[in-house]
Amino acid sequence: MEARMKSAMNPDLTTAIQHLYKAIHAGGVDQRLLSLIHLRASQINGCSPCVFASIDAAKKAGETDERLHNVVAWRETPFFTEEERAALELTEAATRIQDGAPGVTDEVWDSAADHFSEEQLGAIILEIAMTNFFNRINRTIREQAGKTW
């Protein structure tokens, strides 16, 4: 499979994305958790370049291989804190919004709100949205893992 475009980004879009990431990182959420959020949404969406990039970023932030290998099955493993589980559950609910999916239920929201401040929730929601944004671009243009990241 080959990429359909060299880049889907123009300079104005790149600048806007940089501002959004600045807002995410100002939200007070640990970089390792942001990487786990990015990884889980990208796994759901089948976005290989984002899976690749999130694993690379997570390792640079000190994440372990054991936890990275188990994000896909986070519910069945002992490797994640209650806070991380709430964020991963929110990530899945916000990412799976297709035909008839319940999306973010009050139960999912309340669990996340029990663990994070409004500022942190804003950063997490923006990270989820940005990940889904990039997943859709990469899937559309057939971006390849590791080639341009």
pTM beyond 0.85, yes or no: yes
Buried b (16+ CB within 10 A) or exposed e, 103-126: ebeeebbebbeebbeeebbbbbbb
pLDDT tens profile 36-67: 999 999 999 999 999 999 999 999 999 999 99
